[in-house]
Structure 1
Amino acid sequence: MLMGFAAYGAGSPDRAKISGPNACAECHKQEAAAWKATHHFKTFQEMPRNAEANAIAQRLGVRRVKSESLCLGCHFTVQNKSGVDETVSGISCESCHGASAEWIKVHSGYSGKTAQTESKQESEARWKLAEAKGMIRPRALYQLAKNCLGCHVVPHEELVNKGGHRSGSAFDLISWSQGEVRHNTWHSKGKVNEVADAARKRMLLLVGLGVEIETALRAIGRATTRKVYAFEMASRADRAREKLAAAAKAAPEVPEIAKIVELAYSAGLMLNNERALTAAADGVSKEILRITQKYDGATMSGLDSLIPKPDTFKGKPRQAGVTD
């Protein structure tokens, strides 16, 4: 274990509350089949054999990437059973939707009835309770984006500066969520793996860029040396705020976007500036949440020219209708 660092990724769920992907797959067969075709699934077998990963591990003094390293929080799902950690899969359901031990039966229980007999009020109460117990539903865009960018923007300086790990992915929330990881089949009962509609894509654009800025600002604030990590986090923040400035011009009816841009430029992208950078990031966080609470994307057509096209989607989404 690297001393001085937690083995958890930035958004890692509570290991003691992990149920594991098989628990989800009991009902979500189509979604599980889609997952098994992704890099998220394949990392469980492929990463320990990957030459680049092993070179990084060697530079950091790590012997086993599956059991004792910073790799666990972002590349694997770890379940704590009777006080013992066990790596059970690659990146899986609970990496994004939250550790499920306290909500899995609530969300699928139909209030003790059936889908046909549960009332609307009971359904609303059930979902509210599941969320209170830690479920991150698809509508919780800010929390989902935080989980994505908590790993796609590398959360540990030493991984990059000492280990030679990349500082992050060329990530955007639309292209990556609508590519191979897309598993939007539940509401069509497995008939269609639906792509996000225009309104949803607009929200994905704003929330994704906002969280990217927030994450990069916090990373710069934590950085301690003028090396690759700090430089690349500053470049990332700069690119994201430029894109969001374009969005602010395209959608002036959403003043919160301009406020995020103002906050993003309010703190210098430099070392020894953690207080100002953290304050800016906190402000950005509040504005993103305000956007998710006030808007649904329906009136933001000005953003459409900024939306990544399908040919940029990361990987090929699985067609619905077949279970492996």
Structure 2
Amino acid sequence: MIFFFGVHGAIASDPAKIVGPNACAECHKQEVEAWKETHHFKTFRDLPRDAEAKKIAERMGVRRIRSESLCVNCHYTVQRKDDKEEAIAGISCESCHGAGKDWIKIHSGFSGKTAKTETKAEAQARWKLAESKGMIRRHALYQLAKNCYGCHVVPQEDLVNKGGHRAGSAFELVSWSQGEVLHNTWYSRGKDNVPADAARKRMLYLVGLGVELETALRAVAKATVRKPYAFFMAQRVDRARNRLVAAAKVAPNVPEIAKMVEYAHSAALKLNNERLLTAAADGVSNLLTSITEKYDGTTMTGLDGLIPVTGQFKGTARKASAVN
């Protein structure tokens, strides 16, 4: 059975519970059309043809990029069909929002009524049930960020040291989520691909930094040799905690930021220090959970000067007029 990496951050997805992007497209046509313009979609076709990807696969002893877990765990959506698991798409809806089999009908069922007759209380209960079945909605920033960083911070030591794969992307949650992958057309009924407002961008920035720190700490904890992977991951920890220091200075009303920095310095960035590094990562994780429950970004105006702006976004968001 193939699972997405869970050790370093990404939430595990059971191929038996993957329904595939076509099931989502039945209602989310605009969102799926926006997805088709992204690298997340194009990796399904392009990765097996990529010269560097072929070299990495050869070094790792991978014969077929689309069928071995070392590659598909992050680059594809895997579904079980007739007791056989196969890559059916690139990084798709369920890569971020969770395998849909247990919640897809619940989230769209209007409690057995219609959109007009379902009460507010029934809708709230419906969403709560869908989330309990594994749906990751847009407000669940910590879970979404964990899925992003779980692959954008490479979760495999040998893939870097032996395969020559990059240790991860120069990933930052605001600039990447507001670029080509932006697909917030549902609430505007397809009239606009709505960017995040200022408060949400603050939360995206802060939670993203925290998850990068947590994920990199866990990576250093799992590193076994003094080779590039360990060095790159230690650098990510250092970079994330330095940015959090800057964030703590401009947002002193969010004491959890400074506390994350404390955890980041509580364990030496060295090999054979898994227990302390994991404890530090767990501490950061608990703080991030608290932040997402306690704050909504409205009181974090001090962060605005640190947050990437439109010209720094990763790619261009698809215009809603082109989605319809």
User: TM (normalized to structure 2)?
Assistant: 0.97
Contact 2:223-2:229 within 8 A present in 1 as well: yes
Q: Which residue of 1 aligns with 2:273?
A: 273
Q: Which residue of 2 aligns with 1:156?
A: 156
Query: 1:80: Cα distance to partner?
Result: 1.0
Q: Which residue of 1 aligns with 2:201?
A: 201
Query: 1:7: Cα distance to partner?
Result: 6.2
Query: 1:235: Cα distance to partner?
Result: 0.3
Does structure 1 residue 167 correspond to structure 2 residue 163? no
Contact 1:220-1:270 within 8 A present in 2 as well: yes
Which secondary structure state, in structure 2, belongs to the residue aligned with residue 78 of structure 1? strand
Query: 1:276: Cα distance to partner?
Result: 0.3
Q: Which residue of 1 aligns with 2:109?
A: 109
Runs of 5+ in structure 1 lacking a partner?
A: none
Letter in 2 for 1:155: P
How big is each residue's C-alpha offset from its partner over 1:36-73, in whole Å with a ceiling of 9 and x where there is no partner? 00000000000000000000000011100101240101
Q: Which residue of 2 aligns with 1:47?
A: 47
Does structure 1 residue 212 correspond to structure 2 residue 212? yes
Which secondary structure state, in structure 2, belongs to the residue aligned with residue 321 of structure 1? helix
Identity between Structure 1 and Structure 2 (%): 69
In the aligned structure 1, how far is the partner of 2:303 from the partner of 2:68?
44
In the aligned structure 2, how far is the partner of 1:269 from the partner of 1:195?
37
User: TM (normalized to structure 1)?
Assistant: 0.97
**CA RMSD of the aligned region, Å?**
1.2
In the aligned structure 1, how far is the partner of 2:112 from the partner of 2:323?
28
Write out the 4+ residue segments of structure 1 that deviate beyond 4 Å after TM superposition.
none
Query: 1:81: Cα distance to partner?
Result: 1.8
In the aligned structure 2, how far is the partner of 1:322 from the partner of 1:178?
17
CA separation of 1:183 and 1:243: change in aligned 2, threshold 3 A: same
Q: 2:5 aligns with which of 6, 9, 24?
A: 9
In the aligned structure 2, how far is the partner of 1:59 from the partner of 1:114?
55
Contact 2:3-2:14 within 8 A present in 1 as well: no
Matches within 5 A, 1:54-133: 54-133=54-133
How big is each residue's C-alpha offset from its partner over 1:63-110, in whole Å with a ceiling of 9 and x where there is no partner? 001012401010000001232101100000000000000000000010
Q: Which residue of 2 aligns with 1:264?
A: 264
In the aligned structure 1, how far is the partner of 2:290 from the partner of 2:14?
27
Which secondary structure state, in structure 1, belongs to the residue aligned with residue 88 of structure 2? strand
Does structure 1 residue 177 correspond to structure 2 residue 153? no
Contact 1:30-1:185 within 8 A present in 2 as well: yes
In the aligned structure 2, how far is the partner of 1:183 from the partner of 1:160?
32
Structure 1 stretch displaced more, 172-181 or 314-323: 314-323
In the aligned structure 1, how far is the partner of 2:178 from the partner of 2:34?
12
Matches within 5 A, 1:235-314: 235-314=235-314
Contact 1:8-1:70 within 8 A present in 2 as well: no
Letter in 1 for 2:60: L
In the aligned structure 2, how far is the partner of 1:54 from the partner of 1:224?
26
Query: 1:8: Cα distance to partner?
Result: 3.4
In the aligned structure 1, how far is the partner of 2:105 from the partner of 2:55?
42
Structure 1 stretch displaced more, 10-19 or 38-47: 10-19
Contact 2:3-2:15 within 8 A present in 1 as well: no
Letter in 2 for 1:100: G
Q: Which residue of 2 aligns with 1:189?
A: 189
Q: Which residue of 1 aligns with 2:142?
A: 142
Contact 2:153-2:169 within 8 A present in 1 as well: yes
Runs of 5+ in structure 2 lacking a partner?
A: none
In the aligned structure 1, how far is the partner of 2:263 from the partner of 2:95?
29
